[in-house]
Amino acid sequence: MTKDSLARIDESPNDAVTNPELLRDAIEGLSGAEKTLPPKWLYDRQGCDLFERITTLPEYYPTRTEAAILETHAAALGASIPPGGALVELGSGASVKTRTLLDAAPHLSAYVPVDIAAGFLEETAADLRRRYPRLDVVPVAADFTGPVPLSPRLRDVPKVGFFPGSTIGNLEPEIARDLLAGARAWPNVEGFILGVDLVKDTDELVAAYDDAQGVTAAFIGNLLTRLNRETGADFAHDAFAYEASWNAVATRIDMRLVSRRDQVVTLPGARIGFAAGEAIHVSAARKYTVENLGALARSAGWKLDRVLTDREDRFAVARLAP
């Protein structure tokens, strides 16, 4: 079986397909010379729950390191948001770290959490409305790598973007640039607060994405469960192994599902051949230096206004200005 073995089959509608967009992305991504699956599909309800567990793992330093930076500098970051302004968070998840900024900026008029997992987003928004009854919580269910449909009633409200968690490292450089450029084009945007993980010791990096408890492996593997459930695919979980490795050239961690054997996986509309050892690239976590972060910001119409780090310079929270 060759690595590029792919045979189209019946193209007729299939009742098992409840998510045709996921099916299209899967067939397209698995048809290339390097098989890929878009990481945005990791975040169904189970995926969101698993990712929240990842953020509490002892190996996963980014969450607690970033949280400590936000807490230390909460007053200054909160003051950078204009009175009556709106905080727009991309990839909001459970909005746990966001509460540090919300507590430090009681002068905010609105919080706009943007996330692709609509059900999880609504639950989080309901919780925030209970916690902050005076705050207008306006959730937006959307893929933040595309246009973010902000409410017309917030058009004239000054805005500050918030993109924590080093999630920008999961994006290819051109997509990261387009995301920041898109935020720069929001009406009345006055700033952007960005969390970025920094280049550091390789062993520490790999351990953060291949934890001893196997939670990250379950998070990445859950995408196969979702494909089976929502597209009618027949992926066998025990036929794939999780692998995380450091890519020194691209300065990123690569996360893959590796085929344990020669096999064929069937999806409605396609049969995908895998050779033993062939990988599906599911996600990447790019690490930055302050220098290339500044270059990224400038390419999208921003400048680095301030960079806040922990004592060991492991992680940075950057404030961008137009």
Helix or strand run (H / E) with residue 272: strand 270-274
Please report, for the domain that includes residue 141, its CATH number.
3.40.50.150
pLDDT at 7: 31
Would residue 58 count as lying in a domain? no
248-251, long-range: CB < 8 A, 24+ apart:
248/202, 250/284, 250/286, 251/199, 251/286, 251/287, 251/288
The answer to whether residues 187 and 302 belong to one domain is yes
279 within a domain of the structure (yes/no): yes
Residues 269 and 149 in one domain: no
Apex 112 CA angle, 168 and 41, nearest 5:
45
Structural domain for 13, as ranges: 6-38+221-286
pLDDT number for residue 16: 82
Q: What is the pLDDT of residue 14?
A: 58
Domain co-membership, 34 together with 119:
no
Question: Which residues does 39 contact at the CB level (< 8 Å), separation at least 6?
Answer: 170, 282, 283, 284
Tokens describing residue 27? 């067939």
CA–CA gap between residue 79 and residue 225 (Å, rounded): 44
Domain membership of residue 137 (yes or no) is yes
Give a yes or no: residue 261 inside a domain: yes
The DSSP H or E segment spanning 36 is strand 35-36
d(C-alpha 316, C-alpha 195), whole Å:
6
Mean pLDDT by 10 residues, the chain (322 residues): 33 71 97 94 93 94 95 95 96 89 96 92 94 96 92 95 93 94 96 97 95 98 97 97 96 97 97 98 96 96 96 96 96
Tokens for 59? 């190996």
Residue 305, classed as helix, strand or coil, is strand
The residues, any chain, with a CB within 8 Å of residue 85's CB and separated by 6 or more, are 107, 108, 109, 110, 157, 158, 159, 160, 190
- The verdict on 296 and 307 lying in the same domain is yes
Residues 114 and 192 in one domain: yes
The confidence score (pLDDT) of residue 302 equals 98
Q: What local confidence, expressed as pLDDT, does residue 148 receive?
A: 92
Check residue 139 and report its DSSP letter.
Answer: -
pLDDT at 94 (0 to 100): 82
Total of domains in the chain = 2
d(CA 316, CA 84): 27
Residues 274 and 291 occupy one common structural domain: no
pTM (predicted TM-score): 0.84
- State whether 303 and 279 are in the same domain: no
Instruction: Check whether residue 228 and residue 196 sit in a common domain.
Output: no
Nearest alpha-carbon partner for 67 in 79, 80, 56: 56
Phi first, then psi, for residue 250 (nearest 5°) are: -90, 0
Report phi then psi at 214, rounded to 5: 80, 20
What pLDDT is attached to residue 6?
Answer: 32
CB contact burial 142-163 (16+ within 10 A = b; e otherwise): bebbeebebeeebeebbbbbbb
Q: The tokens 């408890």 sit on which residue?
A: 213
